[in-house]
Amino acid sequence: MDFFSAQFLFFVQTLLFASVIFMHLSKKSASVIFLYQVQSLIVACLLLGSALAESAIFPLFVAVVVCAVKVVIAPHFFRRLTRELQLKFSASTYLSGPLTLIILAALTAFTYSHFFAPLSTLNASNARALLLAAAMMLAALFLIVNRKGALSQMIGILSLENAIVAFAFLSGLEQSPALELGVLFDILMWIIIATVFASMVYRQFGSLDVTAMNSLKEE
Amino acid sequence: MLLIILLCVPFAASVLSWLVKKRTLVLESLAAGASTIELAAALSLAGSVAKSGPYSLTDSFSVDPLGAVVILILAIIGVVAAWYSAGYLRAEVEKSIIGFHRVRQYFVLLHLFIFAMFFAVATTSPTLMWIAIEATTLSTAFLISFYNNASATEAAWKYLLVNSVGLLLGFFGTLLFLSPAESAGLTDWNSLFAAAAGFDPFIAKIAFVFVFIGYGTKVGWVPMHTWRPDAYSKAPIPVVALFSGSLLSVAFLAVLRFKLIADASLGGDFSANMLIGFGLSSIVVAAFSMLGQKNYKRLLAYSSIKHAGIIALGFGFGGAAAGAALLHLIYHALAKSALFLSAGNIFLKYSSTKVENVRGVLSALPVTGVLFLAGFVAIIGLPPFGLFFTELSILAAGIQYHPAVSVIVLLALALGFIGFLRHAVAMMFGEREKRIAPGEAGVWTIVPIIILLAILAAASWYLPVSFRSLLESAVLAY
């Protein structure tokens, strides 16, 4: 189907990848949350389009649930958290902006190297998009590692999950809808629990900056 | 029926615990009753598997010999942890450290944790297993932050973050493994194994690396171990006993299941080398960390990392060493749980986890002191306990094909022994502070430890024929 042509999928994957890159560059919590929302919306639209193309009810339901959990519920939780804790700016990064960009470029180049090339055999027609999805995974991992803010780390983990979903979609490794619902349930629970923990971290340390957490070092 | 009991009882116990409004005794009775039923079901299940082979409930739920062994470990540690919890939490309530709501939260999450572990072992679907293991992370995060102080929150946050990232990577590896075995419904271990020969070797390698890192984070191999000492030092002691004895076994089972698939695709060397590499690094790093440790709960956590390394080494060496590694997994679960529970009694008495604050345990807690020493002798691998024989068997197998690795392991074990001995002697002997009044916390905090050590001592010397055949079937493929 034309809707899912290789060129279109590569364009969509580029948008997903760009969302993680902009997360790295963004300093405001609201922007990071918005970027996650956009990223999740794109993933949900992909699943929705696939379900509509197949005229399958259960996958359609799963796509709607994905949309509800990732595009509506998760950003709502995060926004409420930033409102309650008055977090206008997300915490800083370990590496400077230019260095962060250099590492992102290196990670992307690495996924397009000879080493990762065989991954593209999973679906040769989407080879470029697949490798970009792998690059998105590495970029999301780097976001978790490089950010000092708990909120950014949480969004990094959820972006990593989005990257895996995108990779699975592009390579045709999607699970049965029942299993996808199970995974989604875990993700929803994770979002709730992580948000509660972020509040606890703020209460205990007066900040969501993870470098402020040093009570274990004293033991 | 047995699997239905194993899956429904902990879940029902969790829901019922949540409904309890006032009485702690009801929560304790529920926990003791549920865990005893689970143990009875696990014993029957293991007997059935030993006698007639895999026990299937549906296509999605089936228990093979290896699964039966792990379920048995879960049930034994589960029942002991549940009984001990009653005594331990009572003592904490008396000290006004926690109130009824905390006790209820504890039991609700404890049952959910046990349910998730049983589910992970019983399912035949790699994806369902992933969901269940992720559920163990979610159910235990609030148990680690149970005491609601800064350090507990920090430990829980690290635990949640590290394990979530690890498990997401494990999920990616699982998806890659599922690629050639696509089917309309659930993909189970058998269909995955059947399709393994057709895997692209490169994809299989990448998939196994991701799965290994993912579930290896849960096992706690170096360098994915960072959450372990923190979580172990902050969570309530019975939960730590379950972490060290049960969760480690479940995560190990996941790695072993994928090892079989990877081996069918790549040959045995790739997975064996990974197990040996990560096992060796875990043993060496843990041994050095034990030497300078100031906190006895963290000391035990590093000891668990060391033993996870030894088990990995055994499965990496393969053959007879794999059999010894499976026995090591069982013995370690029993010995380490006994040690952690003993450490819980010490904590109740001294209100400190720092080694320097704990002196004269043998005079303050005579029974616990002796039990701790017995657990210590067992865990460092001295006779007459089984860990001595399993370590010896693993090293004997390793010395033939991996002499350098075996020598390094031997030196690291000696180092770990010195580190542990130094701290244990300092804690057990020495002069007790006058403010520490002698006397045990109660029978509920003693009997479970005695039971664990009695099972360990008995199993070190005698294994029933049916259990031996179960073990042999379990390691046949490794």
- In this prediction, residue B184 carries a pLDDT of 47
**More confident of the two residues A50 and B143:** B143
Residue numbers in A near B182 (CB within 8 A): 172-173
**More confident of the two residues A215 and B375:** B375
**Residue B468 CB neighbours (<10 A):** 12
3-class secondary structure per residue, chain B: CHHHHHHHHHHHHHHHHHHCCCCHHHHHHHHHHHHHHHHHHHHHHHHHHHHHCCEECCCCEEECHHHHHHHHHHHHHHHHHHHHHHHHHHHHHHCCCCCHHHHHHHHHHHHHHHHHHHHHHHECCHHHHHHHHHHHHHHHHHHHCCCCCHHHHHHHHHHHHHHHHHHHHHHHHHHHHHHHHCCCCCCCHHHHHHHHHHCCHHHHHHHHHHHHHHHHHHHCCCCCCCHHHHHHHHCCHHHHHHHHHHHHHHHHHHHHHHHHHHHHHHCHHHHHHHHHHHHHHHHHHHHHHHHCCCEHHHHHHHHHHHHHHHHHHHHHHCCHHHHHHHHHHHHHHHHHHHHHHHHHHHHHHHCCCEHHHCCCHHHHCHHHHHHHHHHHHHHCCCCCCHHHHHHHHHHHHHHHHCHHHHHHHHHHHHHHHHHHHHHHHHHHCCCCCCCCCCCCCCHHHCHHHHHHHHHHHHHHHCCCHHHHHHHHHHHCCC
Range of the domain at B360: 2-475
- In this prediction, residue B476 carries a pLDDT of 87
Please report, rounded to a whole number, the percentage of residues in chain A having pLDDT higher than 90. 63
Q: Is residue A34 part of a domain?
A: yes
Confidence of residue A35 (pLDDT cuts 50, 70, 90): very high
Q: Is residue A107 part of a domain?
A: no
Tokens of A197: 């923990």
- Tell the residue number behind the tokens 């504890």, with chain if given: B106
Q: Do A179 and B127 touch (CB under 8 A)?
A: yes
Q: Do A216 and B135 touch (CB under 8 A)?
A: no
Distance set, CA B57 to CA B4, B60, B62, B121, B314 (Å): 8, 8, 6, 13, 32
B155 contacts chain A (CB < 8 A): yes
- In this prediction, residue A108 carries a pLDDT of 95
Q: Is residue A53 part of a domain?
A: yes
Q: CA A89, A92, A96, A102: dihedral to nearest 10 degrees? A: -80
Dmax over CA atoms of chain B, in Å, equals: 70
Identify the three-state secondary structure at position A98. Answer: helix
Q: Do A197 and B157 touch (CB under 8 A)?
A: yes
Contacts for A90 with CB less than 8 Å, ≥ 6 apart: A26, A27, A28, A29, A32, A147, A149, A151, A152
> What is the rounded CA–CA span in Å between residue A198 and residue A205?
10
> What is the rounded CA–CA span in Å between residue B307 and residue B314?
11
Is A27's pLDDT higher than 70? yes
The structure's pTM equals 0.94
Closest alpha carbon within chain B to A138: B169
Query: Residue B55: beta bridge partners?
Result: B63
> Per the structure, how many domains does chain B have?
1
Task: Using CB atoms, pick whichever of B154, B185, B298 lies closest to residue A215.
Answer: B154
> Per the structure, how many domains does chain A have?
1
Task: Using CB atoms, pick whichever of A176, A185, A190 lies closest to residue B164.
Answer: A190
Mean pLDDT confidence for A96-118 = 92
Using the CB atoms, write b or e for B341-367: b if 16+ within 10 Å: bbbbbbbbbbeebebeebbbbbebbeb
ipTM of predicted complex = 0.93
- In this prediction, residue A76 carries a pLDDT of 95
Residues A176-190: pLDDT tens digits? 787 788 888 889 999
Listed by number, the residues of chain A in 117-156 with a beta carbon closer than 8 Å to a beta carbon of chain B are 118-119, 121-122, 137, 141, 144, 150, 153
Question: In degrees rounded to 5, what are phi and psi of residue B70?
Answer: -65, -40
Q: Do B200 and A200 touch (CB under 8 A)?
A: no
Range of the domain at A148: 2-85+125-212
In this prediction, the residues of chain B whose per-residue pLDDT falls under 70 are 180-186
